[in-house]
Amino acid sequence: MRGIFTKAVAVSVLVLLVFSAGCAKYFTGTGATDGSAGQQTMSMPAGGEQVPSGTVATLFDSKKIYFEFDKHDLNPEARQLLTEIAAYLKEYGELRLEIEGHCDERGTSEYNLALGERRAGAARDFLVTMGIDASRIDTISYGEEKPEDPGKTEEAWARNRRAQFIFSR
């Protein structure tokens, strides 16, 4: 069973890397203005949203890593995703990455801000060990301020204990 899972993960990573090579660059250069204070935007493929200039749409936009309660350790799934992100950053050396650390609502605001920073830092440190220059990575903690799920259940809290990624030029 483990061999099948390992092969499936390997094939998934290969497909992801091949697909991301063809879809990675959507930046239009000068950008289009949307009329709001002349802010530049980036064009996405048909049906995509407009995002602020400098932000790069990637296959990792909806990907997140999740953490156990009161922990900042990276689990195997997180390490796998970060390995894929490292390969992407190596391929696209002009990109920068911001890692956002988030927490559930339990604990004080101060404690959760510090825990969110440790979570983002753990992801950054892993990427650095994978060969990504630390100067290309910024971290920020939002603590409990930006929940993904506003619910008051274990499942909601688990979705809020995360780190997510924003790529830019």
| CA quadruple 28, 29, 32, 38: dihedral sign | positive
Say which residues have a Cβ less than 8 Å from residue 7's Cβ, sequence separation at least 6. none
pLDDT digits (tens, 9 = 90+) for 81-118: 999 999 999 999 999 999 999 999 999 999 999 999 99
Q: Are 58 and 16 in contact (CB under 8 A)?
A: no
Neighbours of 153 (CB within 10 A): 9
Q: The pTM is what?
A: 0.69
When divided into structural domains, the chain yields a total of: 1
Q: Rounded to an integer, what distance in angstroms lies between the CA atom of residue 17 and that of residue 91?
A: 10
What is the residue range of 6's domain? 2-168
pLDDT digits (tens, 9 = 90+) for 8-44: 444 444 333 333 433 333 222 223 333 333 322 232 3
Q: Average the pLDDT over 65-93 and give the result.
A: 98
Phi first, then psi: give them for residue 123, nearest 5 degrees: -65, -45
Q: What is the pLDDT of residues 115-163, one digit of tens each?
A: 999 999 999 999 999 999 999 999 999 999 999 999 999 999 999 999 9
How would residue 54 be classed by pLDDT, with cut points 50, 70 and 90?
confident
Question: What does the pLDDT read at residue 52?
Answer: 54
Split at pLDDT 50, 70, 90, the class of 3 is: low
Q: What is the CATH number of the domain that holds 54?
A: 3.30.1330.60
Torsion of Cα atoms, 96 then 117 then 71 then 8, to 10°: -10
- Note whether 138 and 123 are within 8 A (CB): no
pLDDT above 50 for 73: yes
